[in-house]
Amino acid sequence: MEKKRIAVLGSTGSIGTQALEIISRHSGLFEVEVLTAQNQYQLLIEQSLKYKPNTVVIGSEKHYQIVNDVLAPQGIKVFAGSEALDQVVQMESIDMVLAAIVGFAGLSSVIKSLEARKPVALANKETLVVAGELISKLALENRTPIIPVDSEHSAIFQCLIGEHNNPIEKIYLTASGGPLRKFSSQEIKEVTRAQALKHPNWEMGAKITIDSASMMNKGLEAIEAKWLFDLAPDQIDVIIHPQSIIHSIVQFHDGSMKAQMGLPDMRLPIQYALGYPQRLPSPDGRFDFMDYPELSFEKPDLERFLNLRIAFEVMEKGGNMPCVMNAANEIAVEAFLHDRIKFPEMTFIIEKTLEKATFLPQGGYDEYVKSDRESREIARMLI
């Protein structure tokens, strides 16, 4: 059997490194065709020497020379910059693109992948938040699948196998509640970066970890689900499930509910997306009922976690509003991570940016780029 040749975009990140682990485990099935990273050139070099990709892209041009000096003698092609990223995903030799860049920066390469009819294993949820309509259209027109990597969406995707013509009544996205689940509003005001970065169940990149603490992550995921599964906002519900064992639930129109369960470990949804439609064996830990004699559920608190409410409002409003929200959130999270603003000020910045940014009921890629830029400027001024 031919090996599936994979482009790992964002290979130095939390998802990227775990994906490489999966590829190593199943080296008879997968091989690495492309690796890309923004700044971590040393890790990118290390990965390239190990996985021997055909081509490597280092986003930050100042690191090009050193990466090229080491890898060119190995016969590995090296490029730099964001345009190179858009070009490499179209390489003939790629069978699948794993989109694991964080933020708006990952959008363009997903568009190019779909245009080149490369199946996309999608971790980068911001892509669907910003441009869900455009991305869904491209996937449809090019008859190219998007397979979700986000654990909740992977769960729903798995629950929908074999249910092709059966209408979904609603879905329940589960949320751990994050590290601040039990903090009072007063305590949330004074939350430090270290506290917010301490996720109870998952180890992830810094941006998504802060998004989890503020519940923006679940808001982004609701919008992601809307586009992936063609749902109306009122078909999407969020339920707090602190153990993160049930990864999400689909309820059909006969009232039946299907859930996907497992230990919280991103390697499972990553492997599922890479191997789809095949389930591959995994040596990772197994769920033991006696370790979790109780699975519990709570209603999300929209007073303490305003971001979740904002995301649902923005989803209703549509147009470029999710793009504006995403941009403001990226700027706000970055500022919080640099101790420039307090935790609740992230919400303030998002709300104000949504008020001030130009509303566009419809748009294509160029409009999203413009709107993203305008929103970032507004958000920066607010800081």
Which residue from 124, 158, 212, 271 is in contact with ligand NAD, where contact means CB under 6 A?
124
Min separation Cβ 264 and ligand NAD, Å: 9
Q: CA nearest 265: which of 201, 321, 357, 330?
A: 201
Parallel, antiparallel, or unpaired for β 168-175 and 246-252? antiparallel
Give the nearer residue to Mg ion in terms of CB position, either 127 or 353. 127
Among 14, 55, 260, 326, binds ligand NAD (CB under 6 A): 14
Say whether residue 224 binds Mg ion (CB under 5 A). Answer: no
Q: Which of 5, 112, 118, 125 binds ligand NAD (CB under 6 A)?
A: 125
**Rounded Cα–Cα distance for residues 107 and 128 (Å):** 8
* Contact letters for ligand NAD, residues 147-186 (x by CB under 6 A): ---x------------------------------------
Q: Which parts of 196-215 interact with ligand NAD (CB under 6 A)?
A: 202, 204-205, 207-208
Query: Which one, 256 or 285, has the nearer CB to ligand NAD?
Result: 285
Q: Find the binder of Mg ion among 126, 150, 211, 265 (CB under 5 A).
A: 150
C-beta of 205: minimal distance to ligand NAD in Å?
A: 3
Q: Helix, strand or coil for residue 280?
A: coil
Sheet with 246-252: strands ordered across: 236-240, 168-175, 246-252, 257-261
The per-residue DSSP string of 141-163 comes to HTT--EEE-SHHHHHHHHHTTT-
- One DSSP character per residue, 160-181 reads TTT-TTSPEEEEEEEE---TTT
Helix (H) or strand (E) holding 238: strand 236-240
CB 71 within 8 Å of CB 46: no
* CA 148 – CA 221 distance, rounded (Å): 11
Cβ-based nearer residue to Mg ion, 86 or 152: 152
Q: How far apart are CA 6 and CA 119, in angstroms?
A: 10
Cβ pair 171, 154 in contact under 8 A: no
Amino acid at 125: K
* Minimum CB–partner distance for residue 218 and Mg ion (Å): 8
Cα–Cα distance for residue pair 118/232, rounded to 1 Å: 28
| 267: contact with ligand NAD by CB under 6 A | no
Count, residues near ligand NAD per rule CB under 6 A: 27
- Binding segment for Mg ion (CB under 5 A), chosen from 47-55, 82-90, 143-151, 271-279, is 143-151
130 vs 350: CA distance, rounded Å:
15
Distance CA 214, CA 351 (A): 14
Q: Which of ligand NAD, Mg ion, none has residue 12 at its interface (CB below 5 to 8 Å by kind)?
A: ligand NAD
Nearest CB to ligand NAD, comparing residues 54 and 154:
154
Q: Is 126 in the site for Mg ion (CB under 5 A)?
A: no
By the rule CB under 6 A, 100 interacts with ligand NAD: yes
Is-contact 79 18, C-beta < 8 A? no
Cis previous bond, 277, omega within 30: yes
Task: Return the number of the residue (12 or 14) whose C-beta is nearest Mg ion.
Answer: 14
Instruction: Give least dist CB 151 to Mg ion, A.
Output: 5
Binding of ligand NAD by 238 (CB under 6 A): no
- Applying CB under 6 A, does 33 fall inside the site for ligand NAD? no
Nearest distance, CB of residue 18 and Mg ion, angstroms:
14
Residues forming contacts to ligand NAD in the complex (CB under 6 A) are: 10-16, 37-40, 59, 100-102, 105, 123-126, 150, 202, 204-205, 207-208, 266
Residues forming contacts to Mg ion in the complex (CB under 5 A) are: 150-152
